[in-house]
Amino acid sequence: MSLLPEWPLAYPATGAHGVLKQHNEDFRVDELPLQMPSGEGEHVWLHIEKNGANTGWVAKRLAELAGVKEMDVGYAGMKDRNAITRQWFSIYMPKGTTPDFAQLNDEEMTVLTQTRHSKKLRRGDLLGNRFTLTLRNVAAEQASVDANLQQIREHGVPNYFGEQRFGHGGNNIESGRAMLAGEIRVRNSNKKGIYLSAVRSLIFNNVIAARIRQGLWGKSIAGDLTDDMGQVTAPMWGRGRLATTDDALALEQSVSGEHADLCDGLEHAGLKQERRAVAAVPDNLRWEWQQGESGTDLVLTFSLPAGYYATSVIREIMTTEEPERKFVHEADAVE
């Protein structure tokens, strides 16, 4: 049984259904870097294509070959495991012989470029990601899907955190609640961060859901705050007062009041109040219907800013299912 709420859609349900990630190549992600390496410096930078591999597992392999601690390996963000993704990694290696990391090439990872740079690659150091997604065996009234895609192209989608943020069936939410309530003690800092993020993301998603249920999707209300791009924002909960006023403040206080214990726990955990855009507007959204292996496929291409989820686009056009898979590498369950 899933612990996740059923967050509402912004657009009419199309009744369409398809298969997501039937093959790894159906979910392609290309990282859009914040900066390119200069070719000189204390950090080795590697552009790597991974195929069905966990980001953390790739980082561990790089650390082992380099003879460094895993903390000396940097990357801008976790990428989908059941996919073909291209992203940059950095390794702090100021001295000694630099190995040829291409010797690690196999079916799961390929080093495309090896160079150097003066800085470590840190979480969030990217502009965004470019996606090429193939949804297979789609059963749909294509006109309804096309209509929603046209609306998405113009107005974007709710910037919900994707289900992967919450763990299988939303279990990270319950673990986070138990941790904040003092019912369990979590010593692993990585797991602690995952649980805190899940709880924080739950509250954010519920604020978006409240706006949609009140007919406020795509609309500004009195007291809203906007970001540098002019997008209306919602709270990422933590210490500090809500900066909204009037109707926006009332809406956000209503949602936070329903989760008072979680909000109090996040504040005591030391997180600071932040804001995140309510809408995610995909850049250069294109789509094409194709005849696939055993039915009709829909191919989508678009880009999103860092930290935004491609699944937020997909859920507005159809429901999907994924093939059942077994975890191969340790920590796959929490990526």
Kind of pairing, strands 17-19 and 126-139?
Answer: antiparallel
What would the two tokens of residue 319 be? 């429901």
CB 169 within 8 A of CB 198: no
Tally of CB atoms within 10 A around 192: 16
C-alpha 45, offset from chain centre: 23
Q: How far is CA 209 from CA 1, 21, 200, in A?
A: 21, 27, 14
Burial (CB count <10 Å: 0-12, 13-18, 19+), residue 182: exposed
**One-letter identity of residue 30:** D
Query: What is the C-alpha to C-alpha distance for residues 252 and 245, in angstroms, rounded to an integer?
Result: 10
Q: Which residues are catalytic?
A: 80
Mapped onto helix, strand or coil, the DSSP state of residue 298 is strand
Please report the beta strands in 34-125, taking only residues with DSSP state E, as ranges in sequence order. Answer: 43-51, 73-75, 84-92, 109-117
Q: Bridge partners of 318?
A: none
Query: What is the C-alpha to C-alpha distance for residues 154 and 10, in angstroms, rounded to an integer?
Result: 13
